[in-house]
Amino acid sequence: MRDLEKLADEIASKIDHAVNNAERKIKKKWNGNWEARVHSASSDFQTATNSFKRVPDRLSDLATDGSCAMRYLFAYGLIGMAALLGFCGLMLVLMVLIEHPPWTSGTTSFEKLSGGLALIVFSQLIWWAGRRVKRSGDKKAHAKNQHRILRLARDKGGSLTVTEAAMDTRITVEKTEEILRELTISGHAEMRISDSGLVVYHFPEIEHWDEKNRARPVDEL
């Protein structure tokens, strides 16, 4: 009888031990998967948050791109119209001068000649207006590229290289370097050289961004 009780206790102990081991393994695996899921969800949430924060910038860039495109379209339309009117006026003047010289003909030739000259003058005015619109588009595109580089400097902690900025903003290297040099000349950035000779453009205002809330009036300094 005692042998049977002893055997039953051993069987119960082994079953309990097996159950405990299985429970520990399940909990360990579940906790690992849970931590991985939490980490993945956190990473996805951070990515989604960053993407959502960039929506206003993207909308602003899209609006600016559309505005620049409309300006360029209107400018080149004016320039094309000016070229056509100027060509028509020049041809009219040449036809009058060749076929009916004004000094040998009546008032009709003078009217045609005056009309041709008026077309040429009018075409020059339209050409000038088209060039003005194109320059305004160039200025707006330049400002857009400058804002993109400044936003990238903010995201990178206040330091940029020319190649890094060109790759992330999809602006040409020459244009990127030109903008960074302009910001350096205006005092918004400073040029630094690393030990290996790497040129880095540093933005002190962005680096000390958190100090703006602790700024004091000039009289108190």
Residue 22 lies in a domain: no
Q: What angle, 0 to 180 degrees and rounded to 10, lies between the N-to-C axes of helices 107-155 and 55-99?
A: 160
Q: What pLDDT does 174 receive?
A: 92
Residue 193 lies in a domain: yes
β-strand pairing of 159-160 with 190-193: unpaired
* Each residue's pLDDT tens digit, 120-153: 889 999 999 999 988 888 888 888 889 889 989 8
Within this chain, do residues 119 and 171 fall inside the same structural domain, yes or no? no
Q: Domain range spanning residue 105?
A: 59-133
Sheet (strand 190-193) strand order: 159-160, 199-202, 190-193
Q: What pLDDT does 29 receive?
A: 58
Within this chain, do residues 120 and 185 fall inside the same structural domain, yes or no? no
Please give the tally of structural domains in the chain.
2
Within this chain, do residues 220 and 161 fall inside the same structural domain, yes or no? yes
Residue 12 lies in a domain: no
Q: What pLDDT does 125 receive?
A: 92
Within this chain, do residues 66 and 123 fall inside the same structural domain, yes or no? yes
The parts of the chain modelled with pLDDT lower than 70 are 1-65, 100-109, 209, 211-212, 215, 218-221
